[in-house]
């Protein structure tokens, strides 16, 4: 029988010549977990038993203890085989068996399953890998590594996803895709709402609305200029009215003069015909001048009255045009205000979409950094282990070199300066200088590699911290409204 226990942590190597039994150890582990052995030896799993004659009566069994999910388990399997009968000659068949135990329970070792199907199912649940995956990843048979590298990408991806547990990042990616779809739907709804509002405003686009607002503003400016023109015409009309009033005053004075003339005429009829003729001759010339002035005044009054009527009608039309222009200007201002509100709402939604996109990008980058950080930390641990191993080896070689130097001073029957013995049966041998130099160069390479990995790991950690800070800032920005950052 063979029993061994692996020390916690570190690297364990199985070293020995061909046929020493290295592969048998891995076959035993695989058989204990799955009841099968990997590679070309798979067909011999049912006969996993020594063929030496002196082993005919011995029981074949393997027990493997392992940890999973923070607990300890043990699986025991034994293959079917033929043993010599206890009485008489011939052989009797021993059936295969299997048992799965829990080791951490207060009541001690507890049997969990003994049927092959139950044991296989529980082991698959605990280990998380099928026999083929375990064989391909953890116990890769000699000569089959190339087959794994040349396998299709989807097969390797499925295996590595199960091995490294990427379900969390898949959920994050699904959430990011869902949030992106929601944002795109919201933007589409808003764009349709903007199009509806533009249709209500009787414009095809925001640019057309702005052009129409500019036209209304130009029309408003023209209406203002027209209003100034109307005001000037109204002032001129007031002058005409004042002139008409002045003519009326002149008419009144003319009526008074005519009445006076009639009175004088009646008095003149009472005078003698001679005097009548004399005075009539003297009076005729100035009266003609007055009559001509009255006729001219009447013509001017008629012209001014017609001009005043035309100006009044024109002024009424201008007032109506100004009222209509003011109404259109007010309507255009209202449409412009609605359009500005729509533009502001669109700008806010675009900003929210941009923030959500930044959050999605930051979450995706953060998800990509996690496996890289894990890989770099593992590489750093390996480099540190290799560096420590190299340092220990060089220290041992240095001690051996010092011992060899001391050994050169040893003389027969004279005491050793270190231990005092006079017998020197095995003096230290000089260390191979070339071998030591090569070891030092390897150590320097390990140091350089360890520093490089540490630098790369530091850069990744800084990037991860910046992404975390970006996500936190985006969550803070969205605290007053809808949170733009994805839920991880």
Longest dimension (CA), the chain: 202
Buried b (16+ CB within 10 A) or exposed e, 316-341: eebeeeeeebeeebeebeebbeebee
Cβ atoms 164, 172 nearer than 8 A: no
The separation between CA 13 and the C-alpha centre of its own chain, rounded to angstroms, equals: 45
Q: Which two tokens stand for residue 246?
A: 């002045």
Short-list 357, 365, 381, 355, CA closest to 465:
365
Q: How many CA atoms lie within 13 A of 16 on its CB side?
A: 9
pLDDT of residue 118: 97
CA distance 68 to 234: 102
Residue labelled with tokens 């005001």:
231
Tens of each residue's pLDDT in the chain, 488 residues? 677 677 665 667 778 888 888 888 888 899 999 998 876 555 555 556 766 656 666 788 999 999 988 899 999 999 988 888 888 888 888 899 999 999 988 888 899 999 999 999 999 999 988 888 887 777 665 545 556 667 787 776 765 665 555 665 577 677 778 888 888 888 888 878 877 876 776 667 667 767 766 776 787 687 678 767 767 776 776 776 677 677 667 767 767 777 787 777 777 676 666 666 666 556 555 555 655 665 676 687 688 778 767 767 776 776 687 788 788 878 878 888 887 888 888 888 888 777 777 777 777 777 777 888 888 789 888 888 887 888 887 777 776 776 776 677 677 777 776 666 677 676 766 667 787 788 888 888 888 988 998 898 898 889 888 888 887 887 777 665 554 444 43
How many angstroms separate the CA atoms of 5 and 156, rounded? 32
> Residue 69 has which token pair?
């999910």
Q: Residue 338's closest CA among 221, 422, 212? A: 212
Question: What is the reported pLDDT for 146?
Answer: 56
Picking from 225, 216, 222, 205, the residue whose alpha carbon sits closest to that of residue 331 is 216
DSSP calls for 178-217 = HHHHHHHHHHHHHHHHHHHHHHHTT-SSHHHHHHHHHHHH
Tell me the angle at which helices 167-200 and 206-270 cross, rounded to the nearest 10 degrees: 20
**What is the predicted pLDDT for the residue at 408?**
72
Beta strand 62-68 with 71-78: parallel, antiparallel or unpaired?
A: antiparallel
> Which residues have C-beta within 8 Å of that of residue 209, sequence separation ≥ 6?
198, 201, 203, 335, 336, 339
Provide the edge-to-edge strand list for the sheet that holds 62-68. Answer: 62-68, 71-78, 97-102, 110-113
Query: What pTM value is reported for the model?
Result: 0.34
Nearest Cα to Cα of residue 31 among 153, 123, 161: 123
Q: CA-to-CA distance for 121 and 135, rounded, in angstroms?
A: 17
Among 431, 410, 435, 413, CA closest to 422:
413
The answer to whether residues 61 and 1 touch, using CB atoms and an 8 Å cutoff, is: no
In three-state secondary structure terms, 166 is coil
- Orientation angle between helical segments 273-407 and 206-270, nearest 10 degrees: 160
């Amino acid at each position: 029988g063979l029993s061994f226990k692996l020390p916690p942590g570190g690297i364990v190597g199985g070293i020995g010549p061909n046929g020493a039994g290295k592969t048998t150890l891995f076959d035993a582990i695989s058989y204990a977990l799955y009841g099968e052995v990997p590679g070309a030896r798979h067909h011999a799993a049912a006969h996993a038993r020594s063929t030496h004659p002196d082993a005919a009566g011995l029981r074949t069994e393997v027990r493997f203890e392992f940890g999973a999910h923070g607990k300890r388990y043990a699986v025991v399997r034994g293959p079917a085989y033929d043993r010599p009968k206890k009485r008489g000659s011939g052989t009797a068949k021993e059936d295969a068996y299997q048992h799965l135990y829990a080791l951490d329970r207060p009541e001690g070792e507890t049997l969990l399953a003994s049927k092959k199907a139950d044991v296989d199912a529980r082991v698959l649940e605990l280990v998380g890998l099928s026999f083929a995956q375990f064989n391909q990843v953890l116990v890769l048979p000699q000569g089959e590594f190339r087959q794994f590298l040349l396998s299709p990408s989807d097969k390797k991806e499925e295996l590595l996803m199960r091995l490294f547990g990427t379900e969390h990042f898949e959920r994050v990616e699904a959430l990011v895709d869902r949030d992106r779809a929601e944002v795109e739907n919201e933007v589409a709804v808003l764009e349709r709402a903007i199009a509806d509002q533009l249709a209500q405003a009787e414009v095809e686009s925001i640019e057309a609305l702005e052009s129409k607002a500019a036209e209304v503003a130009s029309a408003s400016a023209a209406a203002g200029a027209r209003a100034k023109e109307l005001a000037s015409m109204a002032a001129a009309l007031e002058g005409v009215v004042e002139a008409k009033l002045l003519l009326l005053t002149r008419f009144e004075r003319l009526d008074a003069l005519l009445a006076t003339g009639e009175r004088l005429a009646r008095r003149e009829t009472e005078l003698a015909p001679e005097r009548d003729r004399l005075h009539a001759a003297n009076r005729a010339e100035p009266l003609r001048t007055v009559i001509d002035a009255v006729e001219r005044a009447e013509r001017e009054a008629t012209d001014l009255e017609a001009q005043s009527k035309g100006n009044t009608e024109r002024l009424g039309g201008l007032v109506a045009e100004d009222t209509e222009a003011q109404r259109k200007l007010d309507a255009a201002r209202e449409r412009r205000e609605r359009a500005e509100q729509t533009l502001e709402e669109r700008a806010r939604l675009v900003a929210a979409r941009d923030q959500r996109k930044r959050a999605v990008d930051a979450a995706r980058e953060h998800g990509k950094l996690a496996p890289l950080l894990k890989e770099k930390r593992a590489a750093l641990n390996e480099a540190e282990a290799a560096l420590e191993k190299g340092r220990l080896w060089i220290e041992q070689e240095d001690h051996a070199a010092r011992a060899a130097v001391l050994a050169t001073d040893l003389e027969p029957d004279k005491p050793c300066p270190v231990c005092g013995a006079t017998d020197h049966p095995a003096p230290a041998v000089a260390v191979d200088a070339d071998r030591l130099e090569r070891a030092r160069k390897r150590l320097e390479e390990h140091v350089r590699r360890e520093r490089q990995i540490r630098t790369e790991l530091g850069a990744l950690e800084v990037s991860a911290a910046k992404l975390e800070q970006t996500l936190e800032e985006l969550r803070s920005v969205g605290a007053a409204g809808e949170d733009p950052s994805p839920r991880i």
